Amino acid sequence: MQNRVYKIATVFFLLLLGFLIFLLFTFKIIIEPRKLPSLKIKEQNRALRGSIVTKDGFSVAKSIKLYKVSVDTRCIDPDKKKLFIKLFSIYSNINTKKIKKLLNSKKANVVLSYDIDAKRAYLLKELAKKLNLMGVFKEYKINDKLSIKHGLTVVESGEKRVYPYKDILTPVVGYIRKYEDRGYTKISGVKGIEKFYEESLSHVQDGIIEGYRDIGNNIILDKSAKIKKTINGYNVHLNIPIVLQRAIERELDRYRKKLKAKEIIAAVMDSRSGKILALATTNRFDPNNIRKRDYDYLNSSAIEYDFEPGSVMKPITFSLLLEDSLVSIYDVIKTYNGRFKLGRKTITDEHKKPWMSAENVIVYSSNIGMAQLAQKLSSVHFFEGLKKFGFSKKTNIDLPYEHKGRIPPLISFGNEIYKATVGYGYGLNVTFMQLLKAYSVFNNNGKMVTPRIADYLSLDDGREFVLPRFKPKKVLSLKTASIMHNILIKVVQKGTGIAAQTEGIIVGGKTGTAQISKNGKYLKRYNSSFFGFANDKRHRYTIGVTVIEPDKKRHFASQTAVPVFKRVVEILLEQGYLEREK
């Protein structure tokens, strides 16, 4: 009897133990998170950087999405591996040998490509569905209880900046840098428009789609799906037409070879609005492929190269004298047959004449005449006058890293030699853009405009947004500006700028040739410039040309910068920006 009770108790204990174990496992299953695939999935549609668009509608910089394509090699049916390779090669345009090599690696999850574009990414997503239906992918058992089935995976990996027209409009457009953000390749501007308008160009809002998924792991777009709209960055629309820009760039390239120059810069600006129609240089680069030899070209010389301007400063000095009635165009100046000693300095002229009218000091570019006239200006008036014209200040053009240039301190203007040399363009440093801005005064009734490259912003939905406008600043009286305007026309009609004459167009300007100094010594190297204007009945353009270090044998502005200026005017005529007077 005792033996029977013992047996029953043992069986009962075992049953109880088994029941407790069952309850324990059941409880464990209930409280533990189940490793089941979520019924809902979320996809992020990242916004792209905005484009840079020229006046005539060409996108000189735009972004495209890149996609990463990967596959779990354990899930490819060995009997259908060849079929997978063949079809993937057709859809991706990747060589079959490369695909085979990747699939034969020891890695389970293999990335087949990191830079698939959006069009091919769509095709590969469609291929993934078809391969699933064809049974190319099978379940792979990790252990006895868990198996996985990962087919072809196509996900966004980043964005790529594309410059379709290569070196056109560089370095104005600028370039970008890449950086990683949680496995996604992003970009940001480093120079040029890309940098200046970084905040506007950057994406506005990433899109998100969240909803239930179907058997092919695709989101079901029904009423329950949540969609957050993708908003790409603002597009920056320029005042520069690419056709005009390219034509001028080609001419600059041709003249650079002809003149054996280090660089040539040219710009066209609307004198009344400040809109830049062209800003060209011979030193350009392809932002798609920046090489070590391009490093010196990455900076924009128009705003980042300081130089002594030479005689293009004479009209500035002369206008300050006129404004305060310190000189009349009919005054007669003794020019000492081209050689004059001021203190310990000997000043010379190319045009060796005993006397000149004050007007002809500008027309024939007399250093001797200007050295004497500059003495009439008080130190304060001269110093403040140069600042009023914008020297030693940024022009506020929409480009980053602009230089301010340099004018001597006020105390230096008390020295008669300093005053003389600054009067005809030595002893101070300016930028090309400062000169262009200053010369707008002579072609805009005494008002100075702010140069602007970009016109407005837009979104992909068609909305447009006006950029800040700068009011013209009054620098000279209408009377003084008119006198200077006429003098600059005479420079072209009979003076040093005679080679700029263009039939049927009002052309004026001033030449300037200046020696380059290094470590306080002047070298036998020169910069030559011609700044002025070209007008018809409806248009008024301020135009500037600077030739940096042309051939020593013909370094004068009349031989270098003036012919380039004339070609720029001719291009404006050819493309309908100017019309000849009949």
Whether the pLDDT of residue 497 is over 90: the answer is: yes
pLDDT bin (cut points 50, 70, 90) of residue 29 is low
> What mean pLDDT comes out for the span 532-560?
95
Whether the pLDDT of residue 221 is over 70: the answer is: no
More confident residue, 41 or 563: 563
Instruction: Please say whether the dihedral angle defined by the alpha carbons of residues 412, 415, 419 and 421, taken in this order, is positive or negative.
Output: negative
What pLDDT shows up at residue 397? Answer: 98
Pairwise CA distance, residues 423 & 382, whole Å: 9
Which of 188, 180, 182, 163 is closest to 49 using CA atoms? 188
Whether the pLDDT of residue 249 is over 80: the answer is: yes
What pLDDT shows up at residue 2? Answer: 64
> What mean pLDDT comes out for the span 117-122?
89
- Measured at the CA of 73, the angle between CA 71 and CA 78, to 5 degrees, comes to 125
CATH of 50-204, one of 3.40.50.880, 3.90.1310.10, 3.30.565.10, 3.40.50.300: 3.90.1310.10
Tens digits of residue pLDDT in 305-361? 999 999 999 999 999 999 999 999 999 999 999 999 998 899 999 888 999 999 999
What pLDDT shows up at residue 521? Answer: 86
> What mean pLDDT comes out for the span 538-565?
95
Whether the pLDDT of residue 216 is over 60: the answer is: no
Q: Which helix (H) or strand (E) holds 506?
A: strand 506-518
Whether the pLDDT of residue 108 is over 90: the answer is: no
> What mean pLDDT comes out for the span 75-86?
91
Whether the pLDDT of residue 143 is over 90: the answer is: no
Pairwise CA distance, residues 557 & 528, whole Å: 5
Whether the pLDDT of residue 34 is over 60: the answer is: no
What pLDDT shows up at residue 21? Answer: 80
Whether the pLDDT of residue 7 is over 80: the answer is: no
Tens digits of residue pLDDT in 293-307? 999 999 999 999 999
The answer to whether 170 and 284 are in contact (CB under 8 A) is yes
50-204 and 242-285+300-574 share one fold: no
Radius of gyration of the chain (CA): 36
> What mean pLDDT comes out for the span 378-391?
97
Work out the mean pLDDT of the chain and round it to a whole number.
91
Quote the percentage of the chain above a pLDDT of 90.
71
pLDDT bin (cut points 50, 70, 90) of residue 387 is very high
Pairwise CA distance, residues 578 & 540, whole Å: 9
What pLDDT shows up at residue 219? Answer: 66
What pLDDT shows up at residue 57? Answer: 97
The answer to whether 257 and 474 are in contact (CB under 8 A) is no
Alpha helices in 182-274 (DSSP H): 192-196, 198-201, 242-259
Q: Which helix (H) or strand (E) holds 467?
A: none
Which of 318, 382, 310 is closest to 350 using CA atoms? 310
What pLDDT shows up at residue 205? Answer: 84
> What mean pLDDT comes out for the span 95-101?
91
> What mean pLDDT comes out for the span 196-220?
76
What pLDDT shows up at residue 38? Answer: 57
Quote the percentage of the chain above a pLDDT of 70.
93
Whether the pLDDT of residue 229 is over 90: the answer is: no
| φ, ψ (nearest 5 deg) of residue 493 | -70, -40
User: Considering the domain 242-285+300-574, what is its CATH architecture?
Assistant: 3-Layer(aba) Sandwich (3.40)
b/e map of 460-477 (b: 16 or more CB within 10 Å)? Answer: eeeeeeeeeeeebeebbe
Domain ranges of the chain: 50-204, 242-285+300-574
The secondary structure of 250-302 as a DSSP string is HHHHHHHHHHT-SEEEEEEEETTT-BEEEEEES----TTS--GGGGGGSS-HH
> What mean pLDDT comes out for the span 521-527?
91
> What mean pLDDT comes out for the span 405-431?
95
Structure tokens at 326: 């310190």
